[in-house]
Amino acid sequence: MLTIADPDRYARHRTARASDGTMDRMLPELFLLIALFGCIGAIAWAIRGTSGWNGIDGTIVPGMMWGILWWYCCARKGIQANSSALWLGLGIAVGGELGYGIYVSWIRGLFMQDSSGEMIAVAPGIGWLWFFICGIGWGAPGSICLGWAISTKRSLSIWIPRILIPYAAYHSGAWLVDTFPQTFLPNYDVVDYSDQSNNMIGRIIWTQTLNTKVLCAWLAAMGVAIVQRDKSSYMINGIIGGGFGFGFAISAIWCLGYGSESYAQSIDWWKVWELNSGLFLGALYALALWWSIRDLDKRYTPEGMPLSEDDFTHPAGVWNLRTAFEAIGVIILTMTIYYEDSFRTSVAMSALFAIPTALLIMQSLNGLKPQDRDLRRAQLAQAFCVFLFLFVTWHGATSTLGIHLGTHTEKMVDQYSWPIERQWLFAPLGIVFYAGTVFHMFRTLRGSNPIYVKSFSIHIYCCIVGLYSIGMISIWPSIIHYFYTVLLCGTLFTYTQLNKTYSLTDDQGINS
């Protein structure tokens, strides 16, 4: 959950939010947040859709970039985001497993029933409906995880139904598709869905079943949060999960360009759709951040003192149990994301978070001060978030970069192929990222990593420019690179203006 890291800084920014006559400053800040998260989301989401990244781990690129910005915006206001930024990125990454390609033809009234390319008619409304459902599915894992991460309701009686009921609902989705196939499988009366040799039929069943399962889990999570009066969870679920249902469907309008061969040749409308989708989802995360900070204000005094016992530091035993529980969740999600590549990779990535967390728990057992253990746990989550962003971005970039450099050919590599030439290209920076994160985490455990919030802004500038560069390498020479440049300018401008807004509030507090 969000807590107060710097009471003085928090008090200055809260005064700016609450003072009479400051609405003229608050609304521009909200618009800047929406533009920042939206522009960087558009770039990152479209990068995820290029050759080099798998469906699920590639979504870490936008997810962790949003997570880094989430952490930074909170820190500039004196708020400690704890693990919420990491859960944001891991959650949305799971949504990357969902398929949606079949709906592109459905919204144009075309239904492909086999790999021969033969089309039959389908009601376009069915395609739009499933784009909406799939959008909820893409946003659902991230919204559920983020809602849980910032919630103050953390007792065992809360967690058991919070996890088990959505889990059961998720698996009930397959039963629904099997029991009522005519509801979930279009043209069920004329298409032979029992044909196991038809790859297209298998793809449709798999896509419809998975999207239905995630929709059921999201609805169940919303229901549990409402019953438990867990406002953080159902608000975040509604903003991100429900909001992206509309955003995903609206973005798909660009795919109507696939109906014209001339348009398809001049511009990649699918890529424009992905840019638009990232823009929508980024804006929703900005709204969620805006709401979360204002909800935090209800739990603290203007001076940054907690009003609820949930925000006080808990005994070491309770703290260790919650930390271990959180680490298990991170490990499960990380293993799920990287198991698609290899089991060894998933173990190595999970260990990078599990081992330092275990050492932190041991420090807590040996009498580490409560404020130090809270800070170190938050720093470990932040370091892992940054590592995943850098590692995965470079991981996918080596596919197209190697083609440009001539180390391997396009025929040798795609997002699932790793010839030795690509491995040698990836290894130097990959090892540096991994080893550097290990070093940083162990410095954190020793208490040797002070936080300089303002100076961190230059690192984010580097991440933004680096992400843009990877995008240009991945998409070149497509005409879409012009959109990337416009979005980069928008990202840098809004990020600079947002920093000026934060610095103005800080300076006013110092001068007063």
pLDDT, tens digit, for every residue of 221-257?
999 999 999 999 999 999 999 999 999 999 888 877 6
Q: What is the mean predicted confidence (pLDDT) over 246-275?
A: 75
Using pLDDT thresholds of 50, 70 and 90, give the confidence band for residue 195. Answer: confident
| DSSP H or E stretch at residue 112 | strand 110-112
Residue 310 CA to residue 313 CA, distance in Å, equals 8
The H helix count followed by the E strand count for the chain is 19, 4
Name the token pair of 430. 């990959």
Contacts of 67 (CB under 8 A, 6+ apart): 85, 86, 88, 89, 385, 389
Segment 43-63 mean pLDDT: 78
Rounded alpha-carbon distances, angstroms, from residue 286 to 74, 240, 289, 292, 417: 12, 10, 5, 10, 36
The answer to whether 403 touches 446, Cβ cutoff 8 Å, is no
Asked if residues 251 and 280 have their Cβ atoms less than 8 Å apart, the reply is yes
Number of Cβ within a 10 Å radius of residue 8: 12
Over residues 452-474, mean pLDDT: 83
448-461 mean pLDDT: 76
Determine the pLDDT at residue 262: 54
Statement: residue 24 has pLDDT above 90: no
- Sign of the CA dihedral with 247 first, then 249, 253, and 258 last: positive
How many percent of the chain have pLDDT more than 90?
43
Highest mean pLDDT among 106-120, 186-200, 208-222, 406-420: 208-222
Q: Name residue 80's beta-bridge partners.
A: 3
Contact 352, 386 (CB under 8 A): no
Q: Which has the closest alpha carbon to 398: 425, 379, 362, 419?
A: 425
pLDDT at 207 over 90: yes
Percentage of the chain lying above the pLDDT 70 cut = 91
Q: With bands split at pLDDT 50, 70 and 90, how would you rate the model's confidence at 5?
A: confident
Specify the higher pLDDT residue, 320 or 218: 218
3-state per-residue secondary structure call for 42-77: HHHHHHHCCCCCCCCHHHHHHHHHHHHHHHHHHHHC
> In this predicted structure, what is the pLDDT of residue 267?
67
pLDDT at residue number 21: 47
On the question of pLDDT at 511 being above 90, the answer is: no
Tens-place pLDDT, residues 127-169? 999 999 999 999 999 999 999 999 988 888 899 999 999 999 9
* Cβ pair 214, 108 in contact under 8 A: no
Q: 79-83, 94-98, 459-463: which has the minimum mean pLDDT?
A: 94-98
pLDDT digits (tens, 9 = 90+) for 315-345: 788 888 889 998 998 998 888 887 766 788 8
Q: Give yes or no for residue 111 having a pLDDT over 60.
A: yes
pLDDT of residue 473: 82
Cα–Cα distances in Å, from 19 out to 74, 386, 451, 476? 19, 35, 29, 49
Which tops the pLDDT comparison, 115 or 396?
Answer: 396
Residue 196 has pLDDT above 90, yes or no: no
Three-point CA angle 248, 250, 252, nearest 5°: 70
**pLDDT at residue number 26:** 58
Mean pLDDT of 307-311: 73
Cβ distance 65 to 44 under 8 Å?
Answer: yes
More confident position, 108 or 224: 224
Strand locations in 317-363, DSSP E?
Answer: none
pLDDT at 171: 94
Check if the beta carbon of residue 6 is closer than 8 Å to that of residue 74.
Answer: no
213: its two tokens:
């399962």
pLDDT level of residue 20 (50, 70, 90 thresholds): very low
b/e code 37-66 from CB counts within 10 Å (16+ = b): bbbbbbbbbbbbbbebbbbbbbbbbbbbbb
Is residue 68 packed enough to be buried (19+ CB in 10 Å), middle (13-18) or exposed (0-12)? buried
**Element containing residue 110 per DSSP (H, E):** strand 110-112
The pLDDT value given to residue 452: 64
Q: For 180-254, where are the alpha helices, taking DSSP H only?
A: 181-184, 199-227, 231-236, 243-251
Tokens of 370: 């409560």
3 state DSSP class of 446: coil
Note the pTM of the prediction, 2 decimals.
0.92
User: Average pLDDT, whole number, for the chain?
Assistant: 86
At residue 328, the pLDDT reads 92
